[in-house]
Amino acid sequence: MEHASAHTLAHFQAQPINRHNQQVQRLFMILFGCMAALLVIPVVLIIFILVQKGAPALSWAFLTTFPSNGMTAGGILPALLGTIWLVAVSLLASVPLGVAAAIYLSEYARQDHWLTRMINLATINLAGVPSIVHASSGWGAFVAFFRLGTSILAASLTLAVMTLPVVIVSSWESLQAVPQAFREACWNMGATRWQTIRHVVLPNALTGILTGIILQVSRAAGETAPIMFTGAAFFLPYLPTSIMDQTMALALHLFTITTQVPEVPEEIPFGVALVLFGIVLLINSCSIALRMYLRSKKKW
């Protein structure tokens, strides 16, 4: 009896193949953990350097005054407000158009139609175009052809075109993630296609759409080349009063004082970079919090 029990117990003990699998699993867990750490460590180091070298420049005066003494002193008020102008106008231009295009591709267009395939191909190719190409195209289209001049509107439209593929793709994927049963239930109740999209599909896809908007804000706030040729100026002694005016921007201002202005105190460029990073982080944090709140309301 005892021999039978010992023989049965041996079947439940770890075999060499089990120990080998556990070792391989542990090895891959360590490997993937190291890879994740390699992604996080540079970000932490960048933030640490920005805070260490840029914090001494931060003050209320730094945020609310104009650059002075050949941009080697003073604040960043016009660049700060200009960045907000550019991001806000580009959002107003790209988000409605991008979401509308995603709705058409997801809810109305035939997936195997040549026009749909052409639109998808154009969207993918547009996402891979370098920013300097967007800059020259934006100058030719908005500044020269549409005669908008070098203005906030021209620069924002260039940023909108550049970030439009991100909004379209993220919105389309979010719409596709909504279960088809939701649509069919609405149609069976007599709702039209647009009523279904407006009251059921869009609310359930909003979290993914916000992801695309977050990515757009981050890219639009940090771009230099597209706005350099279309609406941003190295220095302006006044604040813009309309979207037809030129403006300064934090990304271009950082490039200017780093490469074009001699004898700039070290803390000023790092302070500008820290403010730009803080703006993007604040907007992203608010969007992520809203996305998490909306996701918690989902029933599926």
Hey, what domains does the chain have and what are their CATH numbers? 76-296 (1.10.3720.10)
Is the pLDDT at 6 greater than 60? The verdict is no
Nearest to 84 by CA among 248, 212, 252, 226: 248
- What pLDDT does residue 269 have? 93
SS3 60: helix
pLDDT at position 188 over 70 = yes
Mean pLDDT of 139-163: 92
Q: What is the DSSP letter of 251?
A: H
Q: Which residues pair with 155 in a beta bridge?
A: none
The whole-number pLDDT of residue 90 equals: 93
Q: Are 271 and 57 in contact (CB under 8 A)?
A: yes
Instruction: Give the pLDDT band (50/70/90) at residue 154.
Output: very high
Residue 29's pLDDT band (boundaries 50, 70, 90)? very high
Which residue, 232, 243, 223, 259, is CA-closest to 133? 223
The Cα–Cα gap between 248 and 236 comes to 7
Task: Tell me the Cα Rg of the chain.
Answer: 26
**Nearest to residue 204, comparing CAs of 97, 295, 108, 292?**
295
251 CB-contact burial (10 Å; exposed 0-12 / middle 13-18 / buried 19+)? buried
Inter-residue contact 234 to 150 (CB < 8 Å): no
Widest pairwise Cα distance in the chain = 97
Smallest Cα–Cα separation from 280: which of 214, 206, 231?
A: 214
Mean pLDDT of 164-176: 89
Instruction: Answer yes or no: is pLDDT of 9 > 90.
Output: no
Residue 298, C-beta contacts closer than 8 angstroms, at least 6 positions apart: 204, 207
pLDDT digit string, tens, across residues 79-116: 999 999 999 999 999 999 999 989 988 888 876 777 78
Give the per-residue pLDDT at 37.
84
